[in-house]
Amino acid sequence: MPIYKPEEYPSVIERIKAKVAQKNINMGPTVSETEIAAFERACNTRLPQAYRLFLLEVGDGWHDPETEGISASSIHRLAEIEHKDLSLPMTLTDGWLWEDEEDEEQLSDESFERKLGNQGVELMDEGCGMTYELITAGPCAGEVWSFSDVGVSPCCERQDFLGWFELWLDSDDDPDYFKDYVYQENQ
């Protein structure tokens, strides 16, 4: 599932709606443009168009009634997402494994802030310090990235919200967002 072009959004949205109906997934209700605009004002950002369309036309989050608490099968609703200033851009364009970082200057608060900005909109919390976040500012705005206690990386192949969600739909709640990741050994 790639990063889709805006002209592809209508067909992708329709395909996602069909899959949601086929799998009998009870999405949260759609939200209004007014609700989206209020969230954007509160967070000093503009949500990516693919996510906005999803909220307007498909639904707002989903919780698996079979599970309680943190679950990889729960996608946060807009009203549940932390309201924080999202205007500071994330400047990374590739993953960063700070657990392996040897340069102490790269581990300073200033370095984290410069690279990660205000992170993004948390879509899903898988527990154990791992979340999926929609980047809203910077060169990778619109992409979904994985954040963990040891580092951050884009989902591979790089995906916007629609691609990320469709892979989740197609995987029967066990997606491998890193199936195409090429690990590089330090030389």
35-78 pLDDT tens trace: 999 999 999 999 999 999 999 999 998 866 554 444 455 788 88
Q: Is residue 133 part of a domain?
A: yes
Q: pTM to 2 decimals?
A: 0.82
Give the model's confidence band at 119: pLDDT under 50 very low, under 70 low, under 90 confident, else very high.
confident
Q: Is residue 182 part of a domain?
A: no
Q: Is residue 165 part of a domain?
A: yes
State how many domains the chain has.
1
Q: Is residue 107 part of a domain?
A: yes
More confident residue, 65 or 161: 161
Q: What is the pLDDT of residue 1?
A: 47
Q: What is the pLDDT of residue 71?
A: 45
Q: Is residue 175 part of a domain?
A: no
Max Cα-Cα span within the chain: 52
DSSP three-state, residue 111 = helix
Torsion angle, alpha carbons of 106, 180, 25, 39, to 10: 30
- C-alpha separations of 177 from 49, 63, 105, 169 in Å: 21, 20, 30, 12
CATH number, domain of 84, equals 3.40.1580.10
Range of the domain at 118: 6-170
Q: Is residue 187 part of a domain?
A: no
